[in-house]
């Protein structure tokens, strides 16, 4: 770097960063291990990976540490890194049928083929403090895993399950979305409206959980009418298959934890034919174990498809409204930018007001 | 023109896309070209659009000036200059408008007349002047395509009826080359006439909204106005009927900052730091 202009601003920035580092290290506790964050704050790490748009638990955990635990900042760090990575290839479409399921429930039927698998769920926890965690004994902490695997037979749980929706599909009750549309890489393509459904889903998968939830909640409360039923919510490990560089055959390269949700909404006249009415669907899927996000996403998906079919009547049905406002990193950035000096525009505002008042005084 | 992996931070695909977008923007003056804006290591809203354009067009040997609110030492200008400078080895940075080949700015066009060989890059929060009257981008694109600016004119008219003056101070809408109306980023009205038939290209980049647009050199940029209510820049009118002048260099022909003093009075001084310094040096 050549000649660098240095005045007050440079020193101020350096000091601000030093102060942050002071606060990060203040207190008597040992430094927080990235592995501790990755393993024990897994839901936060999952959220950061989803919103950052990169599946990398180790880097996501580092981002959490570096961002002092702020999920927006952490996902931002991850996404800025992701933006700089080369795109190595493209996989074929992956299906949720292949999930190695750790949890799957359906609220549509009492019993489902393969059974309801509650798995690790916080749904029925009583939200009371477990004060014993304040000073946890490392021995007790480590014994949990040991005891868990002691007597577990290898075939305790089947690896994959049939889809609940297939039952209804076999009966011809579903209004399936056309599946022919190509996936869209939203990081490399321009944003234009109307926006195709695969791009909408991709935007939602990276969307900020709270923002997506607020919009989905509006449809649940009456700004829209979905009357949704969770056909199936599954959490599991999705085998990722890449095309082999020589043969082109799909090869399993690893697996990622995802949450997938399919909702059934109200039945509607079959689109594009005079056939009998069918049940409409919504789909949501995202990295990690994030049930609220996947459900909210499926609801917004359904709402937007409805809006597309018969005109958007509510915010959640307006794809442009949803897609442009759920990205936490963009929203946070723009919200924060108001902290930057704006004294030129404000001066201009003041002059405009003074001129206007002078003119009104001169010729009332 | 080479773009080595270690120059300019952006990958080659992004650089190519941005340059193509800029060429299209220059070819269709004032038209907003959508592009796949990359996430940068600085927050959206802090100049990621301007940064991407600067990084995509900078070459070793360039002299870069970065200003925010007319100042080279504003914290955001410092942060951006540091990042871009580090990402572009072989490029020098400067605070001198006269020496700069590439000027990235937020909210101002320099006071000093620009000369061929220089390029202006503006950081843009809102790329679309129709956003004032229409929230939906799909609808706004239709309106631009049809040259349908009626609602914007009505807004201007209603302002004049209510306030005797168009209630837009900065980001004042202007028609480029007789066709598209642009939002000239939030530069004050004061700077808008500098774009008219300017000898240099003015490139506008909205990172968050993912749009590029441009005013090519020697192109008409005409602020929207009515025959009987002409466009007017900031007056900086003093109580005695005259105009405030810079308390430092004495200039009476620059955009001023108004600084409230503890005794309730105001101090007025040049907003463009480099222009003010230049005058001070000339007088010394």
Answer yes or no: do A334 and B44 touch at CB < 8 A: yes
Q: Is A143 on the interface with B (CB under 8 A)?
A: no
State the pLDDT at residue A150.
80
Q: Is A11 on the interface with B (CB under 8 A)?
A: no
Give the integer Cα–Cα distance in Å for B11 and B9.
7
Compute the half-sphere exposure of residue B179: CA atoms within 13 Å on the CB side of its CA: 13
Give the integer Cα–Cα distance in Å for A144 and A139.
9
Which pTM was predicted? 0.91
Assigned token pair, A230: 């969770």
pLDDT for A330 beyond 90: yes
- Active-site pick, B30, B49, B70, B207: B30
pLDDT for A5 beyond 80: no
State the pLDDT at residue A230.
95
State the pLDDT at residue A156.
64
Q: A106-125 pLDDT, tens per residue?
A: 999 998 888 898 888 888 88
Q: Which of B93, B185, B16 is nearest to A348 (CA)?
A: B185
Give the closest-approach CA distance of B30 to chain A in angstroms: 18
Residue A107's SS3 state is coil
Enumerate residues 6+ apart whose C-beta is below 8 A from B103. Answer: B64, B65, B66, B67, B97, B110, B118, B119, B120, B121
State the pLDDT at residue A6.
39
pLDDT tier at A90, thresholds 50, 70, 90: confident
State the pLDDT at residue A175.
78
Answer yes or no: do A342 and B107 touch at CB < 8 A: yes
Answer yes or no: do B138 and A342 touch at CB < 8 A: no
Q: Which of A191, A187, A282, A266 is nearest to A233 (CA)?
A: A282
Domain with CATH 3.40.50.11310 in chain B: 12-128+172-219
State the pLDDT at residue A160.
79
Domain B12-128+172-219 fold is: Rossmann fold (3.40.50)
Give the integer Cα–Cα distance in Å for A281 and A227.
11
Q: Is B81 on the interface with A (CB under 8 A)?
A: yes
User: Which residue from B minimizes the CA distance to A344?
Assistant: B69
Assigned token pair, B254: 């620059």
Give the integer Cα–Cα distance in Å for B27 and B39.
26
Query: A-contacting residues of B 212-231, CB under 8 Å?
Result: none
What number is the average pLDDT over the span B93-111? Answer: 96
DSSP secondary structure, B179-214, as one string: TEEE--TT-BGGGHHHHTT-SS-EEEEETTTTEEEE
Q: Could you tell me which residue, A167 or B48, shows the higher pLDDT?
A: B48
pLDDT for A335 beyond 90: yes
CA A111, A113, A119 angle in degrees (round to 5)? 75
CA A19, A22, A27 angle in degrees (round to 5)? 145
State the pLDDT at residue A273.
65
Q: What is the largest CA-CA distance in chain A?
A: 92
State the pLDDT at residue A180.
54
pLDDT tier at B257, thresholds 50, 70, 90: very high
Angle (deg, nearest 10), helices A209-221 and A42-52: 90
What number is the average pLDDT over the span A254-271? Answer: 87
Answer yes or no: do B190 and A8 touch at CB < 8 A: no
Query: B-contacting residues of A 65-124, CB under 8 Å?
Result: 76, 79-80, 82-84, 86
State the pLDDT at residue A157.
61
Q: Is A145 on the interface with B (CB under 8 A)?
A: no
User: Which residue from A minimizes the CA distance to B86?
Assistant: A1
User: Which residue from B minimizes the CA distance to A364?
Assistant: B164
Q: A282-324 pLDDT, tens per residue?
A: 999 999 999 999 999 999 999 999 999 889 999 999 999 999 9
Weakest-pLDDT range from A69-83, A266-280, B85-99, B106-120: A266-280
Answer yes or no: do A351 and B186 touch at CB < 8 A: no
pLDDT for A7 beyond 70: no
State the pLDDT at residue B104.
97
Q: Which residues pair with B268 in a beta bridge?
A: B258
Q: Verify whether residue B117 is a known catalytic residue.
A: no
Q: Which of A296, A229, A290 is nearest to A263 (CA)?
A: A229
State the pLDDT at residue B69.
93
DSSP secondary structure, A52-103, as one string: HT---HHHHHHHHHHTTT-HHHHHHHHHHHHHTS-----PPPP-GGG-EEEE
Q: Verify whether residue B88 is a known catalytic residue.
A: no
Weakest-pLDDT range from A255-259, B82-86, B104-108: B82-86
Q: Which of B129, B108, B114 is nearest to B176 (CA)?
A: B129
User: In whole angstroms, what separates CA A246 from the centre of its chain?
Assistant: 34
State the pLDDT at residue B3.
44
Q: Verify whether residue B249 is a known catalytic residue.
A: yes
State the pLDDT at residue B284.
84
State the pLDDT at residue A177.
61
Q: Is A355 on the interface with B (CB under 8 A)?
A: yes
Weakest-pLDDT range from A81-85, A192-196, B5-9: B5-9
Question: How many contacts, defined by CB atoms under 8 Å, are there between A and B?
Answer: 179
Q: Verify whether residue B30 is a known catalytic residue.
A: yes
Q: Is B131 on the interface with A (CB under 8 A)?
A: no
pLDDT tier at A151, thresholds 50, 70, 90: confident
pLDDT tier at A272, thresholds 50, 70, 90: low
Where are any strands of DSSP class E within chain B? 33-34, 63-68, 92-93, 102-106, 119-123, 174-176, 180-182, 202-206, 211-215, 221-223, 256-260, 266-270
What number is the average pLDDT over the span A131-157? Answer: 83
Element (H, E) at A255: strand A250-268
State the pLDDT at residue A84.
82
- On average, the pLDDT of chain B sits at 94
Q: B179-234 pLDDT, tens per residue?
A: 999 999 999 999 999 999 999 999 999 999 999 999 999 999 999 999 999 999 99
């Amino acid at each position: 770097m050549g000649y660098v202009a240095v005045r007050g601003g440079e020193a101020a920035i350096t000091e601000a960063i030093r102060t942050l580092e002071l606060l990060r290290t203040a207190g008597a506790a040992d430094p927080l291990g990235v592995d501790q964050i990755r393993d024990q704050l897994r839901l936060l790490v999952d959220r950061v990976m989803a919103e950052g748009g990169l599946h990398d638990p180790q880097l996501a955990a580092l981002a959490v540490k570096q961002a002092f635990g702020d999920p927006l900042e952490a996902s931002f760090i991850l996404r800025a890194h992701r933006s700089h990575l080369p795109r190595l290839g493209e996989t074929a479409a992956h299906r949720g049928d292949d999930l190695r399921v750790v949890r799957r429930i359906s609220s549509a039927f009492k019993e489902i083929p393969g059974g309801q698998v509650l798995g690790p769920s916080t749904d029925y926890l009583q939200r009371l403090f477990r004060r014993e965690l304040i000073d946890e004994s490392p021995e007790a902490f480590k014994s949990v895993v040991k005891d868990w695997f002691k007597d577990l037979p290898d075939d305790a749980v089947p690896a994959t399950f049939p889809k609940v929706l297939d039952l209804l599909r076999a009966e011809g009750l579903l209004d399936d979305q056309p599946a022919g549309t190509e996936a869209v890489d939203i990081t490399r393509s321009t944003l234009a409206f109307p926006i195709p459904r695969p791009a909408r889903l991709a935007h939602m998968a990276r969307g900020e959980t709270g923002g997506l939830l607020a919009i989905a909640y509006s449809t649940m409360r009456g700004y829209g009418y979905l009357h949704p039923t969770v056909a199936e919510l599954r959490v599991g490990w999705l085998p990722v298959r890449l095309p082999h560089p020589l043969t082109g055959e799909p090869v399993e390269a690893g697996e990622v934890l995802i949450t997938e949700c399919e909702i059934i909404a109200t039945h509607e006249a079959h689109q594009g034919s005079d056939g009998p009415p069918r049940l409409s669907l919504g789909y949501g899927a995202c990295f990690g174990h994030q049930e609220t996000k996947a459900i909210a996403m499926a609801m917004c998906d359904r709402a937007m498809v409805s809006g597309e079919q018969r005109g958007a009547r509510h915010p959640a049905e307006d794809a442009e409204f949803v897609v442009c406002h759920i990205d936490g990193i963009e929203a946070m950035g723009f919200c924060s930018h108001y902290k930057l000096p704006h004294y030129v525009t404000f001066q201009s505002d003041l002059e405009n007001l003074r001129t206007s008042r002078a003119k009104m005084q001169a010729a009332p | 023109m080479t773009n080595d992996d270690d120059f300019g931070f952006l990958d080659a695909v992004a650089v190519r896309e941005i340059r193509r977008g800029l060429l299209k923007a220059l070819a269709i003056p004032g038209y907003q070209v959508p592009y796949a804006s990359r996430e940068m290591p600085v927050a959206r809203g802090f100049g990621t659009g301007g940064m991407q354009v600067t990084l995509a067009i900078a070459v070793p040997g360039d002299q870069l000036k970065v200003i925010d609110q007319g100042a080279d030492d504003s914290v955001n200008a410092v942060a951006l200059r540091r990042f871009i400078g580090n990402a572009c080895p072989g490029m020098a940075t400067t605070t001198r408008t006269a020496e700069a080949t590439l000027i990235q700015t937020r909210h101002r066009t320099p006071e000093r007349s620009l000369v061929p060989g220089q390029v202006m890059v503006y950081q843009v929060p809102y790329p679309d002047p129709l956003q004032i009257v229409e929230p939906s981008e799909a609808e706004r694109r239709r309106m631009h395509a049809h040259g349908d600016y009626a609602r914007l004119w009505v807004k201007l008219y209603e302002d004049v009826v209510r306030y005797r003056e168009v209630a837009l101070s900065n980001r004042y809408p202007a028609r480029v080359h007789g066709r598209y109306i642009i939002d000239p980023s939030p530069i004050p009205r004061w700077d808008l006439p500098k774009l008219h038939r300017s000898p240099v290209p003015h490139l506008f980049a909205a990172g968050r909204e993912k749009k590029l647009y441009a005013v090519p050199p020697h192109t008409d940029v005409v602020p929207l106005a009515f025959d009987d209510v002409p466009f007017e820049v900031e007056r900086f009118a003093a109580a005695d009927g005259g105009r405030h002048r810079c308390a430092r260099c004495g200039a009476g022909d620059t955009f001023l900052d108004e600084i409230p003093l503890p005794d309730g009075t105001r101090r007025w001084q040049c907003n463009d730091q480099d222009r003010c310094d230049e005058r001070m040096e000339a007088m010394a």
